[in-house]
Amino acid sequence: MIDLHTSSSQEVFDYILDGIRKQGGPSIKSDGLSSACMYRGDNGRKCAVGLCIPDELYIPTMEGLTLTELWDDKEEIHEDLHAGIHKHTPLLCALQHAHDYSFKQAYQDIDFFSLFENACENTALLFDLQYKAPRHVD
């Protein structure tokens, strides 16, 4: 688990990008009729921000709140998590948007990753970070 207090923006970016790649797709909950992005989703997946929320600090009432709403609700989240989110709010918002937008535009996990990788590459440029394309194993 990454420590948002001590981590650089590059470390946060790399951690989230690697985490989404390793879990194999977006973090969603589906009821059979519709699907929505979640901090904690089906199959143990986590969204970009969800990856940075330790299990012991996660509470289900966080779901449905944007990062900004979560940060504004100081009563809802642990003090340490609040301070870490504050340090990286713009980057975390951009990565949350990359995750959620890519899911909403995609119809299959492969489409999700194409969109998500492109969004992360653009986020890296915006925040002056290094983007490393995924390694393809033949």
pLDDT per residue as tens, the chain (138 positions)? 999 989 999 999 999 999 999 999 999 998 877 889 999 998 999 999 999 999 988 989 889 888 888 777 656 677 777 778 888 999 999 999 999 999 999 876 668 999 999 999 999 999 999 999 988 755
In a domain, 61, yes or no: yes
Determine the Cα–Cα distance for residues 72 and 136; give it in Å rounded to an integer: 40
Determine the Cα–Cα distance for residues 99 and 123; give it in Å rounded to an integer: 12
In a domain, 34, yes or no: yes
Task: State the pLDDT at residue 80.
Answer: 73
Domain total of the chain: 1
Task: State the pLDDT at residue 31.
Answer: 82
pTM over 0.85: yes
DSSP 5-31: TT--HHHHHHHHHHHHHHHTS--EEE-
Task: State the pLDDT at residue 8.
Answer: 97
Task: State the pLDDT at residue 109.
Answer: 62
In a domain, 108, yes or no: yes
Task: State the pLDDT at residue 81.
Answer: 78
Question: The domain containing residue 113 runs over which residues?
Answer: 9-126
In a domain, 4, yes or no: no
In a domain, 92, yes or no: yes
Task: State the pLDDT at residue 110.
Answer: 67
- Give the 3-state secondary structure of residue 130: coil
How many angstroms from the chain centroid is the CA of residue 37? Answer: 10
In a domain, 131, yes or no: no
